[in-house]
Amino acid sequence: MAEKKIHEDQKYIEGLLQNNSFIIKAIYDKFVPKVLNYIKQNSGDADSAQDVVQETLVTIYNQAKEKNLQLTCPFDAYFFLLCKRKWLNELKKINAKEVTINEAVLSKHDSALELADETELFENKQLLFNQMFQNLGTACKDLLKATFKIKSMEEVAKSLGVTYAYARKKKSLCIGKLTKLVQASPKYNQLYY
């Protein structure tokens, strides 16, 4: 992908990363009213808006932290688009009917669309990965947790009472098992192709 100019609103992303209350409050004051309005006008209420906003901010935080998210458009456009899509997806679930998402009318920023797509994909993958992780056996779950928390494989082996070589091998096999679970999921093809 070509290098794109980072938007000055990156400061909001940095603020989320630093868990800076001042910035988070500013996000609520500046950008949430629009989302709240939109959701209220589209068969929702303040409670649903609260959830949508919170989930969206957590996703942005995760993507920023894990994937070094860089904003190439105004935060407003990106954030609104994500909240709107999330809400429309909720509606789809509730009503079980087709809701058309008319993006062309609502966003003037191509880069916002592109970035929102990326974030949505990231979120869906995280959701799938988390679900599949829960499906792993306890032994694998514990080993992976220890591996990534403790970092030193020697210590992990010691804490689990196994040899170093076994711990290493087991780590690959557990992630391998997880890979298989993810690849076998019906959602996999939507996410990777």
Q: Which residues bind other proteins (CB under 8 A)?
A: 11, 14-16, 18-26, 28-29, 32, 36, 46, 49-50, 53-54, 57-58, 61-62, 65-66, 125-126, 129-130, 133, 144-145, 147-149, 168-169, 171-173, 175-176, 178-180, 182-183, 192
CA–CA distance, 23 with 16 (Å, rounded to integer): 7
Judged by beta carbon, residue 27 or residue 113, the one nearer other proteins is 27
Q: What angle do CA 142, 138, 168 make, to 5 degrees?
A: 45
The nearest distance, CB 95 to other proteins, in angstroms, is 24
Judged by beta carbon, residue 99 or residue 126, the one nearer other proteins is 126
Q: How far is CA 77 from CA 20, 35, 59, 72, in A?
A: 21, 11, 16, 11
In one letter, which amino acid is 190?
Answer: Q
Q: Give, for 182, the enclosing helix (H) or strand (E).
A: helix 164-184
The nearest distance, CB 87 to other proteins, in angstroms, is 15
DSSP 8-state secondary structure symbol assigned to residue 161: T
Judged by beta carbon, residue 62 or residue 159, the one nearer other proteins is 62
